[in-house]
């Protein structure tokens, strides 16, 4: 691999790391976003660009698709909370799907 290629790859990895740090901070502040993403990932079998539009939206630009999953996420969080379980139980179940 040439030095230029290595430097390009380093820049890409640095940018990806910054995005992951941003995502971690976002999910720490808004765990319901992560719950919504897990529900979407487990239940949506459509093309995420042209059919469900998930990829056309973002957490800084929430549209009707992400809003619908946020509503589902909040219902799930509330329902699990009513059983006396914590948010970690929600994540444990969704991440097992
Ligand atoms: Zn989708």
* Spacing, Cα 37 to ligand 1 middle (Å): 10
**Share of residues in the chain with pLDDT > 70 (%):** 100
As to burial, measured by CB atoms within 10 angstroms (0-12 exposed, 13-18 middle, 19+ buried), residue 26 is: middle
pTM to 2 decimal places: 0.80
Neighbours of ion ligand 1 (CB under 5 A): 44, 46, 48, 52, 54
* Ligand 1 center to 95 CA (angstroms): 17
Instruction: Give the whole-angstrom CA distance, residue 67 versus residue 62.
Output: 6
Report the separation in Å between the CA atom of 15 and the middle of ligand 1, taken as the mean of its atom positions: 25
Ligand 1 centre to CA of 2 (Å) is: 38
CB 93 within 8 A of CB 43: no
d(CA 86, CA 80) in angstroms, rounded, equals 7
What was the pLDDT predicted at 91? 92
**Residue range 24-51: mean pLDDT, rounded:** 94
Extract long-range pairs of 6-10: CB within 8 Å, 24+ residues apart.
none
Output the pLDDT for position 92.
Answer: 92
- Predicted local distance difference test score (pLDDT) of residue 14: 85
CB atoms within 10 A of CB 18: 10
């Amino acid at each position: 691999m040439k030095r230029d290629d290595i430097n390009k790859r380093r820049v890409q990895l640095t940018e990806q790391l910054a995005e992951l740090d941003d995502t971690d901070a976002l999910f720490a502040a808004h765990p319901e976003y992560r719950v919504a993403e897990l529900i979407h990932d487990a239940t949506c079998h459509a093309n995420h660009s042209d059919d469900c539009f998930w990829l056309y939206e973002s957490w800084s630009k929430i549209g009707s698709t992400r809003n619908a999953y946020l509503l589902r996420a909040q219902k799930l969080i509330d329902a699990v909370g009513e059983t006396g379980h914590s948010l970690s139980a929600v994540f444990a179940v969704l991440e097992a799907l």
